[in-house]
Chain A
Amino acid sequence: MTEKILAQHAGKAAVRPGDNVWVRVDILMTHDVCGPGTVGVFEREFGKDAKVFDREKLVVIPDHYIYTVDKMCQRNVAIMREFCQRHNVKYFYDPDTTAYKGVCHIALAQEGHTRPGEVLLGTDSHTCTAGAFGEFATGIGNTDAGFVLGTGKILLKVPETMRFVIEGELPPYLMAKDLILRIIGDIGVDGATYCAMEFAGSCIESLSMEERMTLCNMAIEAGGKNGIIPVDRVTREYVKARTNKPFIEVTSDPGARFKSVANYNAAELAPAVARPHSPDNYAPAAACGDVKLDRAYIGSCTGGKLSDFIAAAKVLLGRKVSIDTYLVPATREVEQGLHATKLDGRTLAQVFADAGCLPVAPPSCAACLGGPVDTVGRANGAEVVISTTNRNFPGRMGSKEASVYLASPYTVAASAIRGTITDPREFM
């Protein structure tokens, strides 16, 4: 699939892994952390008066350092605001206005910028999330992005594809997060370096778009260049509800070559955690019952979507948390969903309040990557945290002394109740 999309965008009949090809870019996304540097490179190299390659193909989504009094962070958003005004950029989701969305990868999907068959690049490693829509999506640095901003093109090396086939229905206590933590545990944090990770099988077909995004989001945690999932009815329905732009579906050829094929049976997997300090440090949740926790965190592009909050609420309904439990919806749309979605006659927001969680924070990346010291949920000491986010390298949530365990929203919610790492089946 990846090869076919890149061939189309390079104007070639076919490409092979290892080929270096110039590819046409459909969407370039940037945010407040890497945007100013990207713009800086663009203006240094192409001149202050140069025009961006296409004012409708640049999407600017400030999301990282939003709710902070830090002046430098505010300056960076201002740099992007000025740039977008000057270039009449069509899609700038300004934090100072009602256009603000929240975490870029989820906002991209919700605003209809993720479309099958396209090439989407972003100045953020989790840009691979959009591969869930059957497109080629990967993260790049400021200099490459500055080049794309000026030319609309990029030189890419065609990756080999590793295929992961997951069969069977996902048991009710498992989520996409458990699948991907297991896969990363099996292949390691560099197991897919330079490769495309293609996910297929009856289990994947049964997943919602949000769950598929969780899988592709974490392809980078195995070193992958991109994650990709075939387009089906679920994809089409999601995309058509959010954009009327036409798109071309690309399928995997029956005789396609793969670097490797791994098979999993969903029913045999267990609720998973990644222990500190690496996403590949896999363990079944049930084996970590002696880990005492200080805090639980539900949020980010991986674990802060509406389906993640619904999952957590199912576990927390009628129960109480025993540790500080932070809730950070990825986007405004998710935040609204917390008030609009009901479980047993109570909204999700009410379920969380009843359970004793901390007040719902405004949507942004927040403590997923630490951030300025005033960031909600930031680990500032030696906290032991269980989190639905995607990375737990030392210092990722702020303090180097903190220990972060990654898990699904089910497992995080169950653990928040007990105060120790808990297999969610104990509450289901």
Chain B
Amino acid sequence: MSAITGKVYVLGDNIDTDQIIPAIHLYLVPTIEAEYRKLGSFALSGLPAGLPPFVAPGSETSEYRIIVAGRNFGCGSSREHAPIALGAAGVKAVVAGSFARIFFRNCIATGELYPVDCVARLCDEFKTGDEAELRLDENVLIKAATGERFDLKPLGDAKDVIDAGGVFAYARKTGMIKAAGA
């Protein structure tokens, strides 16, 4: 995938996995289809009160496709439920100042979404609801209203893995492992 367009949702620093998917929902098993969708409906439901709802009540998916955040996004637990909840809600990419290691790795392994580092502090440049276009091939995030371009750091090899749909799909595509059940 090269271009992602849609509304952005803006967050600050240290958004941890309990805010992305509160522990009370962890009984949901992501590999079971109905529970995967349910995880999406709870995406970012752990945010403090006062912020606009990320997923509208009664909906399983979010109107926001890109998250713009500060430093250390996804810190805390190793739960893969976190990138999965965001992906299931329809998020395609998180653009952040930096990522916590396990969250970053889980994004790539699952192929759920692109974790992209920004250069400037973009959570101060965007407001929730802004329309934006993310061009991964050019490593820029463009604000639709003004045309402003913000530089992003290249994802490197990780992009290929996410493009393929995660580490297993990538490993098969490149011949590293055989097809399931083969």
Q: Which residues of A contact B (CB under 8 A)?
A: 33-34, 36-37, 40-41, 44-50, 64-65, 70, 72-73, 75-76, 79, 122-125, 127, 139-144, 146-147, 151, 189-190, 193-194, 223, 225, 278, 369-373, 391, 393-396, 398, 400
Question: In B71-95, which residues have CB < 8 Å from any A CB?
Answer: 71-72, 75-81, 83
* Residue in contact with B16 in the complex, picked from A41, A72, A124, A393, CB distance below 8 Å: A393
Name which of A36, A141, A147, A151 has the most chain B CB atoms within 10 A of its CB. A141
Chain B interface residue number, banded: 35 or more
Say which one of B2-10, B29-37, B61-69, B125-133 lies at the interface with A. B29-37
A122 nearest CB neighbor, chain B only? B78
- Is the pair B19, A34 in contact by a Cβ cutoff of 8 Å? no
Q: Per-residue CB proximity of B47-74 to A under 8 Å, as 1/0?
A: 1110000000000000000000001100
- B101 on interface, CB distance cutoff 8 Å: yes
- A–B pairs, 15, beta carbons within 8 Å: A36-B31, A37-B31, A46-B181, A48-B181, A123-B78, A125-B77, A139-B102, A140-B102, A147-B167, A190-B71, A369-B23, A391-B18, A393-B16, A395-B18, A395-B23
A141, B27: Cβ atoms closer than 8 Å: no
Question: By DSSP majority rule, is chain B's interface helix, strand, loop, or mixed?
Answer: loop
**CB < 8 Å: which of A41, A141, A190, A369 contacts B98?**
A190
A-B complex: 4 closest residue pairs judged by Cβ atoms = A40-B31, A47-B181, A141-B80, A141-B106
Inside 8 A of B23's CB, which chain A residues have their CB? 369-371, 395-396
Q: In the complex the two chains form, is B30's CB within 8 Å of A371's CB?
A: no
B14 within 8 A of A: yes
Do most interface residues of chain A lie in helix, strand or loop, or is the interface mixed? Answer: loop
B residues contacting A by CB (< 8 A) are 14, 16, 18-19, 22-24, 26-32, 46-49, 71-72, 75-81, 83, 98, 100-102, 105-106, 109-110, 166-168, 177, 180-181
Does A370 contact B22, Cβ atoms closer than 8 Å?
yes
Contact A395-B166, Cβ < 8 Å, known A33-B79, A47-B181, A124-B78: no
Please judge, given known A-B contacts A189-B75, A400-B48, whether A46 and B180 are in contact too, CB under 8 Å.
Answer: yes
Shortest CB–CB separation between residue B173 and chain A, in angstroms?
13
Contact A141 B105 (CB under 8 A): yes
- In angstroms, Cα B18 to Cα A391, docked, is 10
Cβ contact within 8 Å between A141 and B78: yes
Bound complex: CA A44 to CA B179 (Å):
10
Contacts of B31 in A (CB 8 A): 36-37, 40-41, 44, 142
Cα–Cα distance between A40 and B49 once the two chains are bound (Å): 34
Task: Check B75 against A37 for contact (C-beta < 8 Å).
Answer: no
Q: Which residues of B contact A123 (CB under 8 A)?
A: 78
In whole angstroms, what is the CA distance A131 to B49 when docked?
A: 37
- Contact partner, B78, options A44, A49, A139, Cβ 8 Å: A139
Instruction: A336 to B157: give the CA distance in the assembly, Å.
Output: 51
**A34 touches which of B32, B79, B83, B168 (Cβ 8 Å):** B79
Q: Are A370 and B24 in contact (CB under 8 A)?
A: yes
Select which of B26, B48, B100, B166 is within 8 A of A223 by beta carbon.
B100
A395 in contact with B105 (CB, 8 Å): no
- Please give, as numbers and ranges, the residues of chain A lying within 8 Å of B28 by CB-CB distance: 72
Residue on A nearest B30 in the bound complex, by CB: A37
- Closest Cβ neighbor of A75 among chain B residues: B27
A190 near B72 (CB under 8 angstroms)? yes
B32 touches A142 (CB 8 A): no
B residues near A37, Cβ cutoff 8 Å? 29-31, 80-81
Find out whether the CB atom of A190 lies under 8 angstroms from the CB atom of B80: no
| Chain A residues within an 8 Å CB radius of B19 | 393-395
With both chains docked as a complex, state the minimum distance between the C-beta of A154 and any C-beta of chain B, in angstroms: 10
Q: Is the CB of B109 within 8 A of A141?
A: yes
Contact B180 A47 (CB under 8 A): yes
Residue on A nearest B31 in the bound complex, by CB: A40
Q: Known interface pairs A33-B26, A73-B27. Does A189 touch B72 (Cβ–Cβ under 8 Å)?
A: yes
